[in-house]
């Protein structure tokens, strides 16, 4: 059955204007706000927030603690790991060369958004790439290739303009390729274009 009406169903909330199709899986503590549609076979984890007018396609997998802002469509082929932030009206694609008169549903490309990554408002993510853990994609950026973890990407086409910490603050590496997060004090190292958090 579809869920209509403001209700708590298995400890998740669905606004009366939204539809969760039979077969969709939604985790405890998740809140689904106005005018959303979750298709069959999608999976949404625990403690997520889906803002107004969010569409989740079939076979999409969304982890725990994900926040999806207004007017975002997550298409078949997209995997979103835990603690990801998707800004208002950001865009996913799932076919690299779409034509309205050619059926390409068997050609959906997998796109993975790594744990803790943030994608800014109105950014566009081309299909078939991976956004690394804790990367930050600036508002309006157009991302055409995979992004390393902790990278800061801005512009069109998207280019790396720095590194960020888990807290989302810019990292400034010294001559020994070490940087300290100004908020948490965590220390990061940079080695061959790979940023690591020292434990």
- Looking at the domain assignment, is residue 192 inside a domain? no
- Domain at 85, CATH number: 2.160.10.10
List the domain range (segments joined by +) for residue 14. 7-167
User: Rounded to 5 degrees, what angle do the CA atoms 28, 133, 139 make?
Assistant: 90
- Looking at the domain assignment, is residue 114 inside a domain? yes
Query: For residue 173, what are the contacts with CB-CB under 8 A and spacing of at least 6?
Result: 163, 179, 188, 190
pLDDT of residue 1: 35
- Looking at the domain assignment, is residue 197 inside a domain? no
pLDDT of residue 4: 42
- Looking at the domain assignment, is residue 125 inside a domain? yes
- Looking at the domain assignment, is residue 47 inside a domain? yes
pLDDT above 90 covers a percentage of the chain that reads 94
pLDDT of residue 10: 62
Which letter does DSSP use for residue 45 in this model? -
- Given a cut of 60, is residue 6 above it in pLDDT? no
pLDDT of residue 9: 52
pLDDT of residue 162: 98
User: For residue range 72-126, what is the model confidence (pLDDT) as tens digits?
Assistant: 999 999 999 999 999 999 999 999 999 999 999 999 999 999 999 999 999 999 9
- Looking at the domain assignment, is residue 185 inside a domain? no
- Looking at the domain assignment, is residue 178 inside a domain? no
Q: What is the sign, positive or negative, of the torsion defined by CA atoms of 77, 120, 63, 9?
A: negative
- Looking at the domain assignment, is residue 179 inside a domain? no
Q: Considering its fold, how many domains does the chain have in total?
A: 1
User: For residue range 30-68, what is the model confidence (pLDDT) as tens digits?
Assistant: 999 999 999 999 999 999 999 999 999 999 999 999 999
Query: For residue 60, what are the contacts with CB-CB under 8 A and spacing of at least 6?
Result: 39, 42, 43, 74, 75, 76, 77, 78, 79, 80
Average of pLDDT values for 126-141? 98
């Amino acid at each position: 059955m579809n869920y209509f009406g403001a209700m708590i169903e298995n400890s998740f909330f669905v606004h009366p204007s939204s539809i969760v199709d039979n077969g969709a899986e939604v985790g405890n503590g998740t809140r689904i706000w106005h005018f959303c549609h979750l298709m069959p076979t999608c999976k949404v984890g625990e403690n997520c927030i889906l803002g107004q007018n969010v569409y989740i396609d079939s076979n999409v997998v969304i982890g725990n603690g994900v926040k999806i802002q207004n007017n975002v469509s997550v298409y078949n082929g997209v995997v979103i790991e835990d603690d990801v932030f998707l800004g208002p009206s950001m865009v996913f694609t799932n076919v690299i060369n779409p034509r309205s008169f050619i059926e390409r549903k068997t050609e959906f490309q997998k796109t993975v958004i790594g744990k803790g990554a943030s994608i800014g408002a109105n950014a566009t993510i081309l299909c078939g790439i991976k956004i690394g853990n804790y990367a930050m994609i600036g508002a309006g950026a157009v991302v055409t290739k995979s992004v390393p973890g902790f990278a800061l990407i801005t512009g069109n086409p998207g280019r790396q303009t720095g590194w960020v910490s888990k807290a989302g603050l810019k990292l400034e590496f010294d001559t020994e390729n070490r940087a300290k997060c100004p908020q948490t004090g965590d220390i990061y190292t940079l080695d061959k274009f790979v940023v690591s958090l020292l434990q």
